[in-house]
A and B are shown apart, each in its own frame.
Chain A
Amino acid sequence: MIHGVLIFNTTGVPRLTKFYTPVHQSIQTLTQKLFSLVCSRPVGLCNFLDAPELDAFLGPKNEEGDRWRVVYRSYATLYFVFVVDGAESELGVLDLIQVFVETLDRSFENVCELDLVFHFDEVHHILSEIVQGGLVLETNIDEIDESVQNMARLRKESFASAYPLSLGGGLSPRNGPLKTPLGWLTGKFTGVGTR
């Protein structure tokens, strides 16, 4: 079973945290610990994090099969980390990360870290088309992408029907969600937009 999916960048800022099994520590400390272990590994090493510190941290499991393993992959400025147990195949999870990233890439068209920052809800929706409750739902990228597009379209239509006058909008990628006139003004006046 997959116990957790994390995305954080090379400075350790979380971009997505999703745990399917309750963890004993706060998710933030767990993220920090995983980050410190993962980022200290030079490139070219294997994608399985098997550090002695980890067992103490993830809770020692008596049986070999129950041990939590950490499989990660780094893409540009992001680390994708899956925490799994013995029911998952290590290399299979590695492929799954690839599937996840490719799906993100299709949805966002050349995904970059900022897409994940501003559309973290969309990332959650995409993940929910791949993994549900810690079990793999679908591994075929085309199928996943189709469901993702379908759901995004439905949300967009729903938003459009609520705001018939809004331009585009919806929660779909690259379109500002819930842009109320006031919010839009705020953005204009304060000028904090950094994109």
Chain B
Amino acid sequence: MWERTLKDLIRGLRANKADESKFIAKAIEEIRHEIKTEDMELKAGAVMKLIYLDMLGYDMSWASFHVVEVMSSSRIHLKSVGYLGANQSFNQDTDVLMLTTNLLKKDLMSNPADIGITLNGISNIVTPDLARDLSPELIRMMNHSHPQIRKRTVLALYRVIEKYPEVLQHAISRMKEKLEDPDPGVVAATINVLCELTRQNPEEYLTLAPALFHLMTTSTNNWMLIKIIKIFGSLSPHEPRLVRKLQPPITELISTTPAISLLYECVRTCIIGGMLQGPSGDSLARTCVSKLAAFIEDPDQNLKYIALLAMVKIVPTHPHLVAQYQDTILSSVDDQDISIRMRALDLVSAMVDQTNLQSIVQQILSHLVTDTTTTVHPTAAQSLTQHTIPISPNSIKPHVPPTQSPAYRLILAQRILRMCSQDTYDNVTNFEWYLSVLVDLAHVANVDVGDEIRGQLVDVVGRVRAARRYAVKLMHTVLNDDAILRNAHEEGSCSEVLWAAAWICGEYCNELAEPQKLITLLLRDEISHLPPDIIAVYIQAALKVFGFWAAEVAQRWSEDDLQEVKDTVELISSRVSRFVASSHIEVQERAANTVQLFSFIQADLNNHRPRHDALAGTTLDPMEEPSFPKSLFLIQPLFSSYELNPVAQTAQASVPVPEGLDLDAWFVSPSVVVETKFEKDESKTKKSKKGKGKEVNGGRKAKSGSKRREEDENSNGIVLTPMTAEIETEEEKAERERLRAERLERLRDDPYYIMDKPLPQQSSTNRYVAQEDVDAIPVVKLEGMPSFTEPEPGPSALRNELPEGPVEPYYIDKVGEMPEGAAQPILGTISSSQPPTSKTSRQQTPVPSLVPPSPFPQYEVPGEDTRPSTPDPVKVTRPRKKKVKKKSETVEAS
């Protein structure tokens, strides 16, 4: 057996590059023998080789016991090998760590060199158990005579506290003493540890502030000052008085220090502590910003990076100061360095407002566009810099510009969307521009943001009426775009934009002059390659367009139209019928519905006999048989009875409780509740056999929360309806048993019956019924919406006769629709809770039933007589409800 040293191994590796794995397999085989020998030197050599191989990715955890053996050697050159092996290969689960406790304790008593190695080792391998067992020694050693060891002990204690937090209370007073240690290295190490600790738990360390303050004003060690300032950054939010005390020295530091790293920390701490507010703070902020701006223009890229980082912190409170340097900052977005770009991007998105949004977005968008061309031609500078680095032949690869990386493109695209949609499009002044940005983005993004683009398109069109006309025109061109359709299956094609296009064109087809032409477009053969959810929307849109057009044709009926209508109906049924056998349920169902509806229309059209009197179609006397086929009016009401509007997020919760509905009343008689409760208990115990095997009592404890609450209420005496006596007669018991057996029998085969689920939903959740009953929301038209006043000469594809045009300024329906008769106080909470509303609804299509009920405005049920609202008469609401429901269903599904 040849015994190789580490050097031999490395040389062997270098010589056997071609067959490395074979060589290493052989080497490990040798190591396995060597490591078992009695010879400590040989063992240590084997461990050393393993550590080297571990770095290359070969596991050495199997040797952990031998590592401990080497650690226990009394010779320092072997011991350090052992500890190195432990540092590199042990983790929290290494079982032999249990064996090391005494070894570590012994080594901590040894000579200073051994102690140093041991403390370093403890920092790396400590576990909760070791931490507990070693902490007394470590705390004692904080007063060791050797500063080197005090330093290491303080640092090791941090890891010990991390693993075993109980140590903290014993260590903290010593830690405080160490702030006044004669050795500056010990003080710096203590500051280091305190910096980590205060970040996690600032309140605990407020008492350290005086000592730290003293150090801050006396020390000149920048490294330590940075850490102290960082500590104050964590402390100041918890102690307002500290802020006032800190202001003078920090102002002093900011204006004098040449070190930007320190300046950055000062700025950060100022902002966290709110020192930049008020008149004195304003001038401080001005100083900060002007200093930072100088750094942004510095040729040193590192300073630029840090300056951008710090600027981001100032922007929220002092946007006007940063705005002065907008051009510099914007040019950083074009920096060749992606790190700087990312920071500049952060800063720019924080700076965005109504005036600069368009230019900023255009600039970012141009990154997505132009960089597709630079892939082919890297700039001269790039190719030059590439060759200045010595690169071995096998590492030369085509240089990918940073902007080509999908992750970066995704960030760019998301930034654009977020900047524009911020605060429900607060910064967007021109929605036609924004819609075209969205479409451009879909074209150039080449990353997976289609879903977000779709959400924004639909949301904008829903909220901004004045943009609908332009949106339809734009979406028409998107539907016409063969490129998107062709690439729909490629990653990053943003094919979801077709979803939005079809939906918008279908929903607002009244903006089109010749909607019937759209049907052909929507039902092209190529759409069968689209993802199924998009096909479903296409079918639905075609249906909507037909409904609108057919109704329109019927209004101005002339017999000449009959053929065109027949052709269109024929076209739709034949095209859609291909999807009847689709394997996707959504597509299949829609197609089947459509085919059935159209077979009816077809039959009606075929039966249509033209009347040849001159007045045909001009009068709509309901008593008279109309001259047009009646089925032309079949589809339209399904879609257009009510307009879709964005719905306020709190709408659901604000629906008034109808008069006569007592939410606290039992739905089922209490005896049934009791019965089901028992039954549940039993089924629970039955089910939990594998679990803790509780008795019936235990089972009762393990009830669901709702059940428990019910019980609590009972025990508190808030019994709403008296419970039947717990002690029941024989008869009742028999009856109950019988009922229960009966029901169990009934439910046994019911796949939808889940035994563990609390049955009496109504009793426990009745106070939330108002939120869950979607049908009960009376949806109404909002009055007083801005109307379209100016007629616009609009593009030819759009209809001209409607007097519509963009209203200046764009009105964004931010609040959304509220239910009729929503109680006034609740309206108040809505306006206050506006930001969250806009934030979530941004991603949603304006569909009533999609808006989740808001959890926070707890709806207080007022006394029936005080409620200001009057519910609609049943006669009126019911047809409405039906229609609305249908509408919401179709849209929700589409």
Q: Please list the residues of chain A having a beta carbon within 8 angstroms of any beta carbon in chain B.
A: 1, 10-12, 14, 16-18, 20, 22, 26-28, 39-53, 56, 65, 74, 77, 86-87, 89-92, 94-95, 117-118, 120-121, 124-125, 128, 132-140, 143, 147, 150-151, 154-156, 158-159, 161-162, 170-171, 176-180, 182-183, 186-187, 190, 192-195
Partner of A43, one of B119, B120, B156, B385: B385
- Which chain A positions have C-beta within 8 A of B113? 150-151, 154
Q: Do A151 and B4 touch across chains, with their CB atoms under 8 A apart?
A: no
CA distance A64 to B530 in the complex (A): 40
- Check if A180 sits within 8 Å of B5, measured CB to CB: yes
Instruction: Determine the residue in chain A with the shortest Cβ distance to B391.
Output: A10
Known: A135-B193, A140-B185, A143-B185. A162 touches B55 (CB 8 A): no
- Complex-state Cα separation, A171 to B2, whole angstroms: 21
> Which of under 10, 10 to 19, 20 to 34, or 35 or more describes the interface residues of B?
35 or more
Judged by a CB distance under 8 angstroms, whether B600 is at the interface is: no
List residues of B (1-27) whose CB comes within 8 Å of A's CBs. Answer: 2-8, 10-12, 14-15
Q: Is the CB of B76 within 8 A of A155?
A: yes
B261 touches A90 (CB 8 A): yes
Which A residues lie within 8 Å of B407 (CB)?
Answer: 51-53, 56
- Given contacts A50-B342, A120-B52, whether A158 and B389 have CB atoms under 8 Å apart is no
From residue B791, how far is it (CB to closest CB) to chain A in Å? 47
Known: A20-B124, A46-B337. A158 touches B7 (CB 8 A): no
Complex CA distance for A129 and B230, rounded to whole angstroms: 24
Chain B residues whose C-beta falls within 8 Å of the C-beta of A134 in the assembled complex: 123, 159
From the candidates A44, A52, A135, name the one contacting B408 in the complex (CB within 8 A). A52
Check B410 against A50 for contact (C-beta < 8 Å).
no
- Cβ of B260 < 8 Å from any Cβ of A? yes
In the complex, the answer to whether B302 meets A133 with C-beta atoms within 8 Å is no
User: Which B-chain residue is minimally distant from A10 (CB atoms)?
Assistant: B391
Contact of B4 among A46, A50, A92, A186 (CB under 8 A): A186
The answer to whether A186 touches B395, judged by C-beta atoms less than 8 angstroms apart, is no
- CB-based contact A128/B120 at 8 Å: yes
Q: Which residue of B lies closest to A143 (CB)?
A: B185
Contact B41–A162 (Cβ < 8 Å): yes
Given A91-B306, A133-B156, CB of A65 within 8 Å of CB of B199: yes
Partner of A11, one of B55, B392, B410, B411: B392
> A20 — which chain B residues lie within 8 A by C-beta?
123-124
B447 CB to closest chain A CB (Å) equals 11
A154 to B57 alpha-carbon distance, docked (Å): 31
A50 touching B343 by the CB < 8 A rule?
yes
Contact sample, A vs B, 21 pairs, CB 8 Å cutoff: A10-B392, A28-B57, A41-B337, A46-B301, A52-B407, A90-B302, A121-B84, A125-B84, A133-B124, A136-B188, A137-B189, A151-B113, A158-B75, A158-B76, A176-B5, A177-B5, A177-B7, A180-B5, A190-B12, A192-B8, A192-B12
One of B11, B15, B91, B119 near A22 (C-beta < 8 A): B91
Given contacts A45-B339, A51-B407, A121-B48, contact A1 B196 (CB under 8 A): yes
Q: How far is the CA of A118 from the CA of B10 in the complex (A)?
A: 7
Sorted nearest first, the 9 A-B pairs with minimum C-beta distance are: A133-B123, A91-B261, A50-B339, A46-B301, A42-B385, A52-B407, A155-B77, A45-B337, A28-B57
B119 with A132: CB separation less than 8 A: yes
Residues in B with CB closer than 8 Å to A187 are 7-8, 11
CA distance A91 to B199 in the complex (A): 20
- The reply to whether the CB of B92 lies closer than 8 angstroms to some CB of chain A is yes
Residues of A within 8 A of B159 (CB): 133-134
- Given the interface contacts A52-B410, A133-B124, does A87 sit within 8 Å of B337 by beta carbon? no
Q: Which residue of A lies closest to B12 (CB)?
A: A192
CB distance from A62 to the nearest CB of B (A): 14
Chain A, Cβ-Cβ closest to B85: A121
Residues of A near B148 (CB, < 8 A) are 147
Q: Are A40 and B302 in contact (CB under 8 A)?
A: no
Q: How far is the CA of A22 from the CA of B162 in the complex (A)?
A: 14
Among B397-405, B739-747, B809-817, the stretch in contact with A: B397-405
> How far apart are the CA atoms of A161 and B614 in the complex, in Å?
125
Q: Confirm or deny: B502 has a beta carbon within 8 angstroms of a beta carbon on chain A.
A: no
Whole-angstrom distance between the Cβ of B176 and the nearest chain A Cβ? 18
Closest to A16 in B: B55
Q: Is the CB of A45 within 8 A of B301?
A: yes
Q: Which residues of B contact A14 (CB under 8 A)?
A: 55-56
Known A-B contacts A11-B392, A52-B405; the reply to A155 vs B80 at CB < 8 A is yes
| A159, B77: Cβ atoms closer than 8 Å | yes
Task: Report chain A residues within 8 Å CB of B620.
Answer: none
Q: Complex Cα distance A1/B92, Å?
A: 19
Asked if B223 contacts A139 (CB within 8 A), the reply is yes
Q: CB-CB < 8 A to A139: which residues of B?
A: 188, 223
- Contact present for B6 and A135 (CB under 8 Å): no
| Inter-subunit contact B77/A91 (CB<8 Å) | no
The answer, yes or no, to whether B81 is at the interface (CB within 8 Å) is yes
Residues of A within 8 A of B51 (CB): 120-121
B124 touches A40 (CB 8 A): no
Residues of B within 8 A of A179 (CB): 5
Bound complex: CA A48 to CA B300 (Å): 12
A132–B87 Cα gap in the complex (Å)? 11
Cα separation A177 to B408 with both chains bound (whole Å): 48
Q: What separation, in Å, do the CA atoms of A45 and B120 have in the docked complex?
A: 35
Beta-carbon contacts under 8 Å, B152-207 to A: 152, 155-156, 158-159, 185, 188-189, 192-193, 195-196, 199
CB of B223 within 8 A of CB of A92, answer yes
Residues B282-316 near A (CB distance < 8 A):
301-302, 304-306, 309
Residue of B nearest to A181 (CB): B3
Q: Give A138 to B2 CA distance when docked, in angstroms.
A: 42
Q: Are A178 and B6 in contact (CB under 8 A)?
A: yes
Shortest C-beta distance, B828 to chain A (Å), equals: 33
Which A residues lie within 8 Å of B302 (CB)?
46-48, 90-91, 94
Q: A7: shortest Cβ distance to chain B, in Å? A: 10
With a CB–CB cut-off of 8 A, which chain B residues contact A44?
301, 385
Kindly provide the distance from the CB of A24 to the nearest chain B CB, expressed in whole angstroms.
12
Per-residue A-contact encoding for B333-345, CB less than 8 Å = 1, 0 else: 0001111101100
CB distance from B169 to the nearest CB of A (A): 21
Contacts of B42 in A (CB 8 A): 180
Q: Does B226 contact A (CB under 8 A)?
A: yes
CB pair B400–A40 under 8 Å, yes or no, is: yes
Pick from A41, A42, A95 the residue with the most CB of B within 10 Å.
Answer: A42
Residues of A near B123 (CB, < 8 A) are 20, 132-135
Known: A42-B386, A51-B407, A135-B193. Contact between A178 and B339, CB under 8 A? no
Instruction: Give complex CA distance A121, B80 in Å.
Output: 9
Q: A87-B196, A194-B11, A194-B14 are in contact. Are A171 and B77 (CB under 8 A)?
A: yes
Complex alpha-carbon distance, A159 and B407, angstroms: 52
Chain B residue, CB-CB nearest to A86 = B199
**In the complex the two chains form, is A17's CB within 8 Å of B301's CB?**
no
A86 to B45, CA, bound (A): 39
Distance (whole angstroms) from the CB of B131 to the closest CB of chain A: 12
List 5 additional contacts besides A90-B264, A124-B88, A133-B124; criterion CB under 8 Å: A151-B116, A171-B80, A182-B3, A186-B8, A187-B11
